[in-house]
Copies of this chain bind each other. A is one copy, B any other.
Amino acid sequence: MNPQKIPDIIIGRLPVYLRSLQHMAEKGISTTSSKELGESVGISAAQIRKDISQFGEFGKQGTGYSIHFLIKKLNEILKVDRVWDVALVGAGDIGHALAHYQGFFNCGFKITMVFDNDPAKIGEQIGDFEIFDAANMVEIIQTTGIKVAMLTVPASEAQAVADKLVESGIKAILNYAPISLNAPPDVHVQHIDPVVHLQRMTYYLD
């Protein structure tokens, strides 16, 4: 399926296409075109076609793409045609918001455990989960074989906790701490920082 390496930048756009296609599917639409999909996500039709064609011939001349079929293919490509168990590390405000977030459903992810190092929180319930002691985190994650984690601890602890996640065998970290994490090349890190996103916009304001 991957004869040659697909650029990161293309992989990064696929989830956005997927999200838009799922909205179309929910509305009961069955077919779309590169033009329509492009307008809905703000990307040129040519680029949509080029991106998709990296993985196969999923469209039909004259009619466009079957939304159902394209969703299926994108789910397979992104490996979210399954459910990834996710460890949530840090039971503060952001951790609570993520634990309650409904948006992971049907997108390939399910939070299955929560860790914190605060004795006052350990043992408490957060949604459906009991908060586990972070001291046991490495062992538990190694045993369960979880590969994906979300990191919502304070910036001052983030690198140390990330190192422990790497030690645990975690291969994908979604980092909410406002700090650039160092990780080995085989561990993927994505970063969410509202300040970075806001500062990207103020440049353009008066």
Binding site for B on A (CB under 8 A): 11-12, 14-16, 18-20, 23, 40-42, 77-80, 84, 86, 93-94, 96-98, 100-101, 103-104, 107-109, 147-148, 150, 155, 171-172, 174, 178-180, 188, 190, 192-205
Q: A40 and B180 in contact (CB under 8 A), knowing A93-B101, A98-B194? A: yes
On whether the beta carbons of A194 and B101 are closer than 8 Å, the reply is: yes
Closest chain B CB from A56 CB (angstroms): 15
- Count identical subunits in the complex: 2
Q: A19 and B172 in contact (CB under 8 A), knowing A194-B101, A203-B79? A: no
Closest chain B CB from A51 CB (angstroms): 13
A93-B101, A108-B199, A188-B201 are known contacts; what are 7 more A-B pairs with Cβ within 8 Å? A11-B203, A14-B199, A86-B198, A103-B194, A107-B199, A108-B198, A188-B205
Which residues of chain B are within 8 angstroms of A155 by Cβ–Cβ distance? 103
Which residues of chain B are within 8 angstroms of A93 by Cβ–Cβ distance? 96-97, 100-101
